[in-house]
Structure 1
Amino acid sequence: MAEDIPEERRTLSEQAARQLANATKTRAQWSGITPRWLVSFLPWVPVEAGIYRLNRVKESTVDASTTVQCSPRGDAELPETFVPYEEEPNEYWLNAVTTVLDVQTRVSDLYSHPIDQIQEQLRLLIEKVKEKQESELINNADYGLLPNTAASQRIKTRSGPPTPDDLDELISKVWKEPAFFLAHPRAIAAFGRECTRRGVPPPTVTLFGSPFITWRGLPIVPTDKLYVDANGKSNILLLRTGEQKQGVVGLFQPGVPGEISPSLSVRFMGINRKAIASYLISLYCSSAILTKDALGVLEDVDVGRYHKYGHEYYE
């Protein structure tokens, strides 16, 4: 009788065997997570009550009203002077990047092994909030770096793609101890091609355990939050950072309720009559440009043009 059974049916099939096997499961993978280098490179200043007051000198009057003499002779009177301050300084208020997680308790009760459903949902939403934080630090109309760069600190590319000459001119705008460039990965690739074409490939440096290409010793830090428009155009920033250098700083408030990391909190909001558990995720942050020459922007950087089989096209 067994001889009549086809040979492939005399053994346990792989498909049937898999029903008794345990699959090794990964956590949910999301390609939208980036290194968020800007947050790592910025110095962060703690604030009280969510307010940061930026006191500045009256630049237009300081030279006229302040007199300093070198080696006054004889009985010459010493100059009487002072440094005038702005009487209505700017204040920066911390903004909240926030969202609410809703989880059906039946799901969290029954399907949380081996991976806890609530913790996994919180992990992914916290990553989303942090991605939004970096975008706001760059693009927010009130405190973002790009919209708040002074007009005198903006320059345009000479020929389209970013060149060594363009970055040198940007350094001339932020020449007092600049810290790093910030650019879209495609802008960095376009700059690398220009350097290679000129025979001056940029060196690399390792920071935070990762390699970065450099120009004039300054790392070029990638971020996808400096967006590329439909015409393949983007911007490159150059920053000086830190309060001591009158640069760019990030702002946060430590000790917020439910804090799980600086200025980031997760708070349980309760369970409603439909058995939905809610969690509030909040991240409080802002940034400040302490002096106008702490930040420069290279505009209209062409990063979208590629060559394929001798033809130009845009993505």
Structure 2
Amino acid sequence: MADTQPAQLALGDNAARQLANATKTAPILSTISPRWLTHLLQWLPVEAGIYRLNKVRNPQDVQVLCAKRDESELPSTFVDYDEKPREYFLNAVSTVLDVHTRVSDLYSSPHDQIKEQLRLTIETIKEKQESELINNPDYGLLASVAPEQIVYPLTGAPTPDDMDELLTKVWKEPAFFLTHPLAIAAFGRECTRRGVPPPTVSLFGSQFLTWRGIPLIPSDKVPVADGKTKIILLRVGDKRQGVVGLYQPGLPGEQSPGLSVRFMGISRNAIASYLISLYCSLAVQSDDALAVLEDVEIGKFHEYPDTYK
């Protein structure tokens, strides 16, 4: 019986691909976020890993008077200091990266395996840093809010009235709101429903919603649970007695402020090890530099994955 298969007239795609070079991307890490919080904070270098926050004791007791023109007696006063100021100690976010020398020797073209492993690990550490700045039970933003600086929404969903209430708590040069992207979407819906769509502002080449001129900065590190989250309002900067970030300068193997990479050697099993450490903390210099809107309902929570919890 004759073969009815048509004769191949040209080189096929599958065979041709064996001679072609595929364009290879660097590894894509889906958990990388913009980490706006670390960009917007002022970072202060800390000697010996300790930051002592001195405060005035009983500031209302500092008295000054407007003396009458004919009075020769001048009022006297003094400013007392807290005898037991809080001290902040830098927190370490660290890990040891292991790379087999055979892998780095044989498979480092076109992308250097050690360079890529370090890059991806450092990105993960920086993501953890932002989470700690918000959620650390000792120094994080949410753990540092004074009781009188906590606000609760009027209706559940974040409204312009709620944001105005936050602004009464941090009225001295507020810098930005910080919240989960789902809360920003919920606030946008409430504004649109009321006919007051919030304007936007451009920062770092990106667009952000604003309220009363204050940008709403998104971070997926702000916790979401049972369809509720929080909105934080900050004043930042040392001169404003605001929220500041703390880091250790001059580390051995410093790659960026507070971040170091140190080669630890090669084991008998041909494993090269690198110690990656990031030292940081956060301080709220004045109670009125930080406020939070609690129990913010984001709506339609069943449509979002459990990773937001």
Q: Report the TM-score range of the alignment, normalised by the length of the smaller protein.
A: over 0.9
Instruction: Report matched runs for 1:42-191 at 5 Å.
Output: 42-58=41-57, 61-64=58-61, 66-191=62-187
| RMSD value, Cα | 1.4
| Cα deviation code 1:291-314 (max 9, x no counterpart) | 0000000000001426xxxxxx55
Q: Which amino acid aligns with 1:96?
A: A
Q: Structure 1 pair 5/280, CA: closer, same or farther in 2 (3 Å)?
A: farther
Q: 1:206 aligns with which of 182, 196, 202?
A: 202
8 A Cα contact 1:232 1:314, kept in partner: no
1:233 Cα deviation after fit: 0.5
1:21 and 2:20 matched: yes
Q: For structure 1, which runs of at least 5 residues remain unmatched after alignment?
A: 307-312
Report if the CA contact (8 A) 1:227-1:234 is conserved: yes
Give the 3-state SS of the residue equivalent to 1:49 in structure 2: helix
Matched with 1:278 is 273
2:296 is matched with which residue?
301
Per-residue CA distance 1:47-98 (angstroms, 9 max, x = gap): 111111100011xx3323x221113343442122101110011111111110
What is the rounded CA distance, in whole Å, between the counterparts of 1:314 and 1:154 in structure 2? 29
After TM superposition, what 4+ stretches of structure 1 lie above 2 angstroms from structure 2?
3-11, 61-64, 71-76
Distance 1:228 1:75 in 2: 62
Which residue pairs with 1:310 in the alignment? none
State the match for 2:261 in structure 1.
Answer: 266
How far apart are the structure 2 equivalents of 1:272 and 1:118? Answer: 16
Contact residue 153 and residue 173 of structure 1 kept, 8 A: yes
Q: Which runs of 5+ in 2 are unaligned?
A: 305-309
Report the CA distance shift for 1:81/1:27 in structure 2 as closer, same or farther (over 3 A): same
Contact 2:145 2:291 survives alignment (8 Å): yes
Q: How much does 1:28 deviate?
A: 0.5
1:203-282 residue pairs with structure 2 within 5 A?
A: 203-229=199-225, 231-282=226-277
Tell me: CA distance 1:25–1:239, structure 2 relative to 1, closer, same or farther (3 Å): same
Paired residue type of 2:216: I
Q: Give the superposition deviation at 1:20.
A: 0.7
* Matched-pair contact (CA < 8 Å) for 1:304–1:314: no
Alpha-carbon spacing, 1:23–1:299, altered in 2? closer, same or farther (3 Å): same
Deviations 1:161-185 (A, max 9, x none): 1000000000001011100000100
Residue identity matched to 2:300: R
**In structure 1, how many angstroms separate the alpha carbons of the residues matched to 2:155 and 2:96?**
46
Aligned sequence identity (%): 65
Q: Secondary structure at the match of 1:189?
A: helix
Distance in 2 separating the partners of 1:109 and 1:30: 23
- What is the DSSP-based 3-state SS (H/G/I as helix, E as strand, rest coil) of the residue aligned with 1:9? coil
CA contact (8 A) 1:72 1:78 kept: no
- Residue 10 of structure 1 and its aligned partner are, at CA, apart by 3.5
In structure 2, C-alpha distance between the alignment counterparts of 1:295 and 1:206, rounded to whole Å: 24
CA distance in 1: counterparts of 2:40 and 2:202, whole angstroms = 13
2:160–2:191 contact (8 Å) kept in structure 1? yes
The verdict on how the C-alpha distance between 1:273 and 1:144 changes in structure 2, with shifts beyond 3 A counting, is: same
Residue 31 of structure 1 and its aligned partner are, at CA, apart by: 1.1
In structure 2, C-alpha distance between the alignment counterparts of 1:62 and 1:194, rounded to whole Å: 40
Equivalent position SS for 2:262: strand
Tell me the distance in 2 between the aligned counterparts of 1:62 and 1:24. 65
Give the AA of the match of 2:264. M
Please report how far the alpha carbon of residue 9 of structure 1 lies from its aligned counterpart in structure 2 after TM superposition: 2.9
- Whole-Å Cα distance in 1 between the matches of residues 259 and 34 of structure 2? 18
Aligned-partner Cα distance in 1 for 2:299–2:193 = 17
The letter of the residue matching 1:247 is G
- AA matched with 1:47: V
